[in-house]
Structure 1
Amino acid sequence: MPTISRIAAVTTVTAGVVISTAAVSPAHAEATATPAFVAYHAASAGRQTTYARTLKKQGYHPITVNVSAGGRYAAVWVKGSSPAWAIYQGMSGPGYQSRFNEFAKKGYQPISVSATGSGSGAVFAAVFEKKSGKHFARHGLTARQFASVNQKAASTGYTLSSVDVYGSAASPRYVGVWTANTGGGWYYTYGKTAKQHEAEVAKRLRQGFRPTQVAVGPDGTYAAVWRKDGLRSWAHYIEMSSSGYQKRFDQQRARGLYPVQVNSESGRYAAVFVKT
């Protein structure tokens, strides 16, 4: 169902600041002024709906969304002009496919897709934007299928622009969006333990790559997208608790960085920050 379908007003949002009215824990609300953005995490489905409705009225648009076990949501919203957009939550796999088909006909494409759970109980969330450009999306992919799709995408001029891992520890599934590569090398990794992912960071940095998308799997492993885009001011963290993410957020905000991607599963958080 769309997150803008209903509102139970308990929060006021102004100038990029989330102001608690005794309904939002400070540990789950973050803010800054430049650029004006709002980031939240560990929000219930109801709270996510309220945020979406309120933030839309205040002129914000979502750039990333994540749903994790227990129906908890994280997202980042930025204030300012943007293409037409829509955000949906609580979708089943077929429901997500239906929304994808519906919005593709209207000229929209997904910019952020997330999922949690397995089988018919999997839950999806997505942000769609009205924009041109070649793209395709897949979900329900096994690790082998995910690798195959990435290899074909790279050979035909596409890049992985959104990724998440869901399913179960014994049988993870991948959901992704691939868009036309407008320049710059890219790479992907998946099924990496925290230690292996950290080693990958060191390796890719030496090659000029940085992580742009990181997803936590139900088995605690990580999938990531790496791009050689020349960006110098950025930060990336994994293996964070909810409070740990909040701490990193505060530290990076003080340095002038804000999150452009947040992902969580089973209490583990990963995030990518860039310079404002």
Structure 2
Amino acid sequence: MKRAAALTAAVATATVPLLALASPAMAQQPAKTAAVQTQVLDWLSLDALSGTALAQRVKELLGKGYVPSALNVTNATNPQYTSLWVKDTVGKVNVLQGLSATDLPKQIDQQVKSGFQPKLITGTGTGPSAVFAAVFEKTTQLAKSQLSMSKETFAKVNAEFTAAGYSIASLDVYGTVEKPLYAAVWVAGAATGAVQVTLGQTVEERGKELLAKTKQGLQPVLMAVEPGKLYTTVWSKGSATGLKEYLNLSKLTYTLKSAEMKALGYSPKILSAEDGVIASVWSKK
């Protein structure tokens, strides 16, 4: 039985050494690396940690004034966790990992009773072997979450929650290529402008979609790499100017691109990983 690790801490201001940064690169040409220095960071990235290593870093980072803004688990047989962390001297969160499909709903209920609402949910694998991780935030803002949704069910639930005044805040796709499953979190408060969702696109399709959505005045706000190297994206009103996205990255190209983007003054906005593929979107500070 998989062990669930839960860590809680009120975050406090602190300095932290620069970690090995990760990043994406759809382009095949090699990326230039940036000089690594010890400094205060407003964000940092952790790539492909085991559950034990993640638990150790979560405890450390929460105590140093960071909270996760993205969390992804991949490889159900040997779970690996990729995450983004941002400076937050006020927030209070719980991070749980190594959960089964039956454990997670129970943990959600317990967290809500303690005043923590789901913020991020990620999964990998399928059936009894599926593995999940989640971030819960201490907040009075109401949230709804749902797991194991088919493509059709997700579309229906998303429409219902949107009509009820909730906006999608977290989305991940797991399962198999033949049967993708969706896990999502919606928070009270409708997003500004129309929100659109595109499901199961290849890299080529996703590239064309970006151009089309940009012309409509939309930008990616959430993205999930699916099994089979497909992409699901949530689009919302906003200019794509200053945004750069990189799909279909390996661990190495992600690391190189991350260092390069940081040197150019970009911060990570979206991060997703599945089946050895990493994708991210960056914004100019």
Q: Give the shorter-chain TM-score range.
A: 0.7 to 0.9
Matched, 1:207 2:210: no
Determine if the alignment matches structure 1 residue 140 to structure 2 residue 145: no
Matched, 1:124 2:132: yes
1:247 corresponds to which residue? 256
Residue by residue over 1:12-64, the C-alpha shift from the partner in whole angstroms, topping out at 9 and shown as x without a partner, is x94352379xxxxxx9xx98856422211111112111211211222222121
CA apart distance, 1:260: 3.2
Matches within 5 A, 1:5-16: 14-16=15-17
Deviation digits for residues 91-115 of structure 1, max 9, x if unmatched? 0112111111111122222221110
- For residue 214 of structure 2, give the secondary structure of its aligned residue in structure 1: helix
Instruction: Report if aligned partners of 2:20, 2:255 keep a CA contact under 8 Å in 1.
Output: no
**What is the distance in 2 between the residues matched to 1:232 and 1:104?**
38
Q: 2:167 aligns to what?
A: 159
One-letter amino acid of the structure 1 residue matched with residue 236 of structure 2: R
Structure 1 portions without partners, runs of 5+: 6-12, 21-26
TM-score (norm 2): 0.84
Q: Distance in 1 between matches of 2:220 and 2:38?
A: 23
Which residue number in structure 2 is paired with residue 39 of structure 1?
A: 45
Q: Describe the SS at the equivalent of 1:214.
A: strand
Instruction: Deviation per CA, 1:192-251: give whole Å up to 9, x if none.
Output: 111111111111111111111111111221111111134743222211111111122122
Query: Could you tell me how far 1:139 is from its partner in structure 2?
Result: 0.5
Percentage of pairs with the same residue? 28
How far apart, in 2, do the equivalents of 1:31 and 1:207 lie? 40
Equivalences for 1:28-177 in 2 at 5 Å?
33=39, 35-69=41-75, 70-177=78-185
Q: CA separation of 1:155/1:31 partners in 2, compared to 1, >3 Å: closer, same or farther?
A: farther
Paired position in structure 2 for 1:197:
206
Within 2, Cα distance between the matches of 1:227 and 1:136? Answer: 19
Alignment partner of 1:18: what SS? coil
- Give the 3-state SS of the residue equivalent to 2:5 in structure 1: coil
Code of the residue aligned with 1:263 in structure 2: it is: S
Q: C-alpha root-mean-square deviation of aligned residues, in Å?
A: 2.4
CA deviation digits over 1:57-90, x for unaligned, max 9? 2222212111011311111112231322111100
Distance 1:196 1:19, change over 3 A: closer
